């Protein structure tokens, strides 16, 4: 496969390469979010508070943000395939260590090791996907690869919750270790050598930061993703407060959330190339409506309403995750690598802020009040989405090419 100027049609190997990248993003983001579905069992197993385990999500996200920026400056000249393989091995080691820990301090070390790989991997995977496909398939490629991110957010958490309840929380980390090994083999065999055209270094970062359109996407991402993860970090405790659900229905509700996310990701891939802004707008509005609706409830909701809420929330989140990333890649063109790195930095900062602010609001107030605040913040992000253009005239001309078109 010639990755500098891809053929005008997708080959079987192209599709398989995209799916192995999707598995990789699923694994790396699932690793980040495992504690969300296992706050209670991990806390009890290591004899620390649930808030302390929740902070491992924040630390992971913030170090991942720093890692993404450093990768765009210093790792841009490293062969992409070799770097992907190295980062996947680091992730494998991180998960194996996390599965074996007996103390909270060692768990932190394992998580921070994984975060170093996380940011660098995510920063380059978007540019890698773009290099594998013709320009007219950028939206589809982004949907497939970053569908792994959506799937991790909506499937990884209920999967880890189920495994934790039935087999022990350590087994969830061992499963991610296995997935890391599969991803390593897949990248070795399916991803061709990639000569990316993307600009790198501090000068490229400055050009991206000069784009007002990209700044609007970054700001909208920060607001919407912070709101989502503030609420999502506490979805398991929130479900536990819904006394209309039996203990066995909580994992089922999380699985419904995940299944809705997978369906939402498929639908997003179908419509995103033609209806990017409307897809993101509708997704954000649906999430805001759900969070404000359940947060404003004065009593435990009927089981059917709880399941409807997680169904809509899970389905809509894919449009936000895939939508913002696709938007960045469309506008960035030759600056896909540094733009993706900055997007990853903002996204991971938002995850960390969400987990931290969520913990603070829950400690001071309650989970329903947290959901009200998160829903309001999500709704505010619509104001930014409305003014983001679909093309970016403020990026240098070399960055605006066919791949930035609808």
Flag whether 1 is in a domain: no
Q: Dihedral (C-alpha) 80, 82, 87, 88: value to the nearest 10 degrees?
A: 110
**Single pTM value for the model:** 0.73
Flag whether 141 is in a domain: yes
CATH value at residue 28: 1.20.1250.20
Q: How far is CA 91 from CA 1, 94, 179, 304, in A?
A: 27, 5, 10, 39
Question: How many separate domains does the chain show?
Answer: 1
Alpha helix segments (H runs only) across 242-335: 249-271, 276-295, 303-332
Flag whether 27 is in a domain: yes
Provide the terminal-to-terminal Cα distance of the chain, rounded to the nearest Å: 25
Candidates 300, 307, 308, 305; CA nearest to 244 is 300
Flag whether 4 is in a domain: no
Flag whether 7 is in a domain: no
Flag whether 92 is in a domain: yes
User: Kind and range of the H or E element at 336?
Assistant: helix 336-364
Please report, in tens digits, the pLDDT of each residue of the chain (406 residues total): 444 444 566 778 888 988 999 899 889 888 888 887 787 788 888 888 877 887 787 788 788 878 877 877 776 667 778 888 999 999 999 999 999 998 998 998 999 899 888 888 877 787 787 777 776 677 677 778 877 876 776 677 777 778 887 888 899 999 999 999 999 999 999 988 776 555 455 666 677 777 788 888 889 999 999 999 899 888 888 888 888 888 778 878 888 887 888 888 788 877 877 888 889 999 999 999 999 999 888 777 888 888 999 999 988 988 888 888 888 877 776 676 777 778 877 887 888 788 788 888 888 888 889 999 999 999 999 888 888 876 644 444 343 333 333 3
pLDDT at 99: 92
Enclosing domain of residue 17: 12-404
Q: What six digits make up the tokens of 284? A: 């954000």
Flag whether 3 is in a domain: no
CA 65 to chain CA mean position, Å: 12
Alpha helix segments (H runs only) across 47-196: 50-74, 80-100, 104-132, 138-151, 157-167, 169-190
Flag whether 6 is in a domain: no
């Amino acid at each position: 496969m010639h990755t500098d100027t891809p053929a005008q049609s997708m080959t079987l190997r192209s599709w398989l390469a995209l799916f192995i990248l999707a598995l990789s993003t699923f694994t790396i983001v699932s690793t980040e979010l495992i504690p969300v579905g296992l706050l209670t069992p991990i806390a009890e197993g290591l004899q620390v508070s649930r808030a302390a385990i929740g902070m491992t999500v924040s630390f992971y996200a913030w170090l991942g943000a720093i890692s993404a920026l450093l990768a765009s400056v210093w790792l841009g000249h490293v062969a992409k395939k070799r770097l992907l393989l190295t980062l996947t091995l680091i992730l494998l080691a991180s998960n194996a260590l996390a599965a074996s820990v007996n103390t909270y301090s060692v768990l932190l070390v394992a998580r921070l090791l994984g975060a170093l790989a996380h940011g660098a991997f995510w920063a380059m995977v978007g540019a890698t996907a773009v290099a594998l496909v013709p320009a007219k398939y950028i939206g589809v490629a982004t949907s497939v690869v970053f569908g792994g991110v959506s799937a991790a957010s909506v499937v990884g958490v209920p999967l880890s919750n189920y495994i934790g309840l039935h087999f022990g929380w350590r087994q969830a980390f061992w499963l991610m270790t296995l997935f890391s090994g599969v991803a390593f083999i897949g990248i070795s065999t399916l991803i061709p050598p990639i000569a990316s055209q993307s600009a790198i270094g501090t000068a490229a970062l400055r050009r991206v930061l000069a784009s007002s359109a990209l700044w609007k996407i970054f700001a909208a991402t920060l607001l919407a993703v912070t709101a989502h993860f503030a609420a999502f970090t506490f979805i398991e405790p929130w479900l536990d407060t819904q006394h209309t659900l039996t203990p066995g229905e909580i994992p089922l509700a999380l699985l419904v959330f995940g299944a809705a996310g997978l369906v939402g990701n498929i639908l997003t891939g179908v419509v995103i190339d033609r209806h990017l802004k409307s897809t993101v707008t509708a997704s954000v509005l649906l999430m805001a409506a759900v969070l404000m609706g359940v947060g404003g409830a004065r009593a435990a909701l009927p089981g059917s309403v709880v399941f409807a809420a997680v169904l809509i929330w899970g389905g809509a989140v894919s449009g936000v995750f895939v939508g913002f990333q696709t938007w960045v890649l469309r506008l960035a063109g030759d600056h896909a690598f540094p733009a993706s790195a900055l997007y990853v930095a903002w996204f991971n900062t938002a995850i960390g802020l969400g987990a931290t602010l969520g913990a603070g609001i829950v400690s001071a107030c309650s989970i329903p009040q947290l959901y009200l605040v998160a829903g309001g913040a999500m709704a505010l992000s619509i104001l930014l989405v409305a003014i983001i253009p679909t093309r970016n005239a403020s990026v240098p001309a070399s960055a605006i090419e066919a791949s930035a078109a609808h």
